[in-house]
Structure 1
Amino acid sequence: MLDITVRRADAADRPVLERLWPLFQHDMSGFRGVLPNPDGTFRSERLDAAFTDADRVPYLVASGEHPVGFVFVRGLNGPARVLSSFFVVSGARRQGIGLRAVREVVARHPGPWGVAFQDNNPTAVCFWRRVAAEIAGDDWTEERRPVPARPDLLPDVWISF
């Protein structure tokens, strides 16, 4: 099992997160049907907002000097926090890193939480249900909500705890 650290990302970490972002977007493109921009990049508004919006915070997950993922949170000033983007690199998956990272981030921002994922992503379905049960026991809910401005997509699954 890899030792990890989860720390709030700062401006010096931004280039690392900018390199991880396309890997995350590539993974998600298979479930969202999103194609890269004409220049080969993916949209990065959520990445930008994680560093510029006072209601959001980015976290970098690392194993020693190696970045292995990230967690972006929004809703810091609202009634519930939302885990808005979450990624672990393929080489670090299935080692408990994701669950440990989520636990640490949730502990830093007490209160209600929500996370959305896609029903057609079986790995995410199992992972997020397990995370909810590990963190909240039986005190969590699941519902489907339409994706804003994307009626062509299946509804997102939202877990709240």
Structure 2
Amino acid sequence: MNNIQALKEKSMEVELRPVAYAEKPLLSNLYQFYHYDFSPYTEEDLNEDGRFEANIDYFWQGDPRWNPYFIMLSGKIAGFLVVLFENLDTDPDPTHVIYDFMVLPKFRRTGVGSAAAKKAFALFKANWAVAQMENNTAAISFWRKAIGEFTNQSYRETYRKDIKKYIQRFSTK
């Protein structure tokens, strides 16, 4: 089997599984890796306990805007993503945002992340926005490619100088 065929088969096995409240400790542990990965861009420091601050309690406090999913590959956790229904409290048709997204290093550059992103976009018929920090060039490239493939290059990108982020917008309606 060649590498391209293996990647396609691996992508086909990617699933998104909602994170149950009982799995909160597991997701919290994964957030430590997420914050570690992001620390070169955020310059976040460890707390006194040697951990990154990662409070995810609000995902389960009755706020339906937060939707965490494990990225599963052949029954194993390959990462996670969180879809936020932005402004759901004030807008009956909220923009959906990939709020957090992390693929474990061993699964990166295999198509797993792209497959997970596309599955997330297909979950909801909505207007979407995905943002990346201007100094995270790998994320910018990843999202441009994944969104471009998903939308057949039918997306709009803006740069917000005030928050130093690139934002891609598109619709699945």
Give yes or no for TM over 0.5: yes
In the other structure, the counterpart of 1:73 is: 83
Range that drifts further, 103-112 or 82-91: 103-112
Equivalent residues, number:
153
User: Quick one: distance in 2 between partners of 1:111 and 1:89?
Assistant: 27
Range that drifts further, 119-128 or 21-30: 119-128
Does 1:96 find its partner at 2:105?
A: no
In the other structure, the counterpart of 1:34 is: 44
Aligned residues: CA RMSD = 1.7
Q: Secondary structure at the match of 1:35?
A: coil
Q: Return the offset for 1:30.
A: 0.6
Which amino acid counterpart does residue 6 of structure 1 have in structure 2? L
In the other structure, the counterpart of 2:58 is: 49
In the other structure, the counterpart of 1:21 is: 31
Does 1:135 find its partner at 2:135?
A: no
Identity of aligned residues (%): 27
Q: Return the offset for 1:99.
A: 1.1
In the other structure, the counterpart of 1:158 is: 167
Which amino acid counterpart does residue 76 of structure 2 have in structure 1? H
Q: Return the offset for 1:4.
A: 2.4
The C-alpha deviation readout for 1:102-125, integer Å capped at 9, x for no partner, is 111111111111111122222111
Q: Return the offset for 1:135.
A: 1.6
- Give every structure 1 segment of 4 or more consecutive aligned residues whose post-TM-superposition deviation is greater than 4 Å: none
In the other structure, the counterpart of 1:9 is: 19
- Which of 51, 58, 61 does residue 68 from structure 2 map onto? 58
User: Quick one: distance in 2 between partners of 1:51 and 1:69?
Assistant: 19
Structure 1 unaligned segments of length 5 or more: list them: 148-154
Which amino acid counterpart does residue 22 of structure 2 have in structure 1? A
- Which of 108, 123, 126 does residue 123 from structure 2 map onto? 108
Q: Secondary structure at the match of 2:168?
A: strand
Q: Secondary structure at the match of 2:48?
A: coil
Q: Return the offset for 1:62.
A: 1.6
> Radius of gyration: which is bigger?
2
Structure 2 unaligned segments of length 5 or more: list them: 1-6
Q: Secondary structure at the match of 1:75?
A: strand
Q: Return the offset for 1:90.
A: 0.1
